[in-house]
């Protein structure tokens, strides 16, 4: 069979349906898997979600199974910040597999194109969207130092002093940020949008997104930042249909994250923030 275009008119979908139950179970399985790093709870909860989907809707089951494959692959390693070369290599293979395997199943087993990576959305960016590209790093500069330093979550990232360490941190932060958009937006969000309206699908993907970010190191009161960020990324992708745009937004944000971590670990090295480094 030829590969089929599986675009769904999500605005015509009902606001609530039985499909929401298994989708919510699968999405919330990320909380024990990543938030608490508890596979003994996360895996059975994920399996229950797939079983309920089997009872409710077989097409939904196929899509949730792809998300589940990615979740399980990521859960096989710790995503806590570690910039050693060995961990960078392992994490790179695992995170790549979490994107490539669902994509390959979608293309070559399901014979369709539900998972895509639309670098150009075909819609010109509005003035508001162009302005947002400047607002993101400014807001990050304003808020992130307060968050990282007051909560001491910068300690979840290794201390970087040597040039090679700084470069590895920069590469790692940007690589994970790129992967976030490929998996959470272009895979999870895209698959969920085939069954739910954008608002509902966005909330479900944000649950997975924020759980992953918690394990990565955005803890303490971090969800007050990561939840709006995850929802905004899904909303912006819905508007622009452009992976390029959401990726630029994410990497601009991550650039400030990188600078704040360096600033927090190295007093006086980057006197560009109004919040002083600890110990300075």
Q: For the chain, how many residues are written? A: 280
Per-residue confidence at 120, pLDDT binned at 50, 70, 90? confident
pLDDT for position 3: 41
pLDDT for position 126: 87
Q: Is 33 exposed, middle or buried (0-12, 13-18, 19+ CB in 10 A)?
A: buried
Per-residue confidence at 2, pLDDT binned at 50, 70, 90? very low
Sign of CA dihedral 247, 248, 253, 257: positive
Q: Is 203 exposed, middle or buried (0-12, 13-18, 19+ CB in 10 A)?
A: middle
Longest dimension (CA), the chain: 65
Residue ranges of the domains in the chain? 10-265
* Cα distance between residue 94 and residue 230, in whole Å: 22
What is the token pair recorded at 127?
A: 């003035």
* Cα distance between residue 33 and residue 211, in whole Å: 8
155-205 pLDDT, tens digit each: 999 999 899 999 999 999 999 999 999 999 999 999 999 999 999 999 999
* Cα distance between residue 71 and residue 277, in whole Å: 36
Res 152 pLDDT > 60: yes
* Cα distance between residue 274 and residue 143, in whole Å: 10
Q: What is the number of helices (H) and of strands (E) in the chain? A: 11, 0
74-109 pLDDT, tens digit each: 999 999 888 898 999 999 999 999 999 999 999 999
């Amino acid at each position: 069979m030829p590969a089929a275009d599986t675009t769904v008119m999500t605005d015509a979908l009902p606001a609530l349906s039985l499909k929401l139950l298994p989708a919510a179970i699968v999405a919330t399985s990320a909380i024990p898997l990543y938030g608490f790093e508890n596979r003994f709870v996360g895996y059975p909860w994920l399996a229950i979600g797939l079983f309920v989907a089997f009872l409710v809707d077989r097409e939904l089951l196929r899509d949730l199974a792809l998300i589940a494959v990615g979740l399980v692959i990521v859960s096989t390693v710790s995503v806590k910040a570690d910039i050693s070369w060995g961990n960078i290599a392992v994490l790179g293979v695992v995170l790549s597999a979490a994107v490539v395997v669902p994509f390959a199943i979608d293309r070559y087993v399901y014979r369709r194109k539900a998972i895509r990576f639309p670098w150009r959305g075909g819609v010109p960016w509005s003035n508001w969207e162009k302005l947002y590209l400047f607002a993101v790093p400014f807001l990050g500069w304003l808020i992130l130092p307060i968050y990282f330093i007051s909560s001491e979550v910068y300690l979840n990232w290794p201390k970087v002093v040597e040039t090679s360490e700084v470069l590895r941190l920069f590469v790692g932060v940007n690589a994970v940020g790129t992967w976030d958009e490929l998996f959470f937006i272009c895979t999870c969000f895209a698959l969920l949008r085939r069954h739910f309206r954008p608002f509902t699908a966005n909330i479900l993907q944000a649950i997975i997104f924020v759980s992953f970010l918690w394990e990565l190191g955005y803890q303490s009161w971090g969800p007050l930042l990561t939840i709006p960020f995850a929802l905004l990324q899904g909303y912006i992708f819905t508007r622009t249909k452009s992976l390029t745009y959401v990726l630029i937004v994410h990497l601009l944000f991550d650039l400030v994250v990188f600078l704040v971590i360096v600033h927090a670990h190295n007093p006086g090295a980057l006197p560009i923030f109004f919040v002083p480094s600890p110990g300075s």
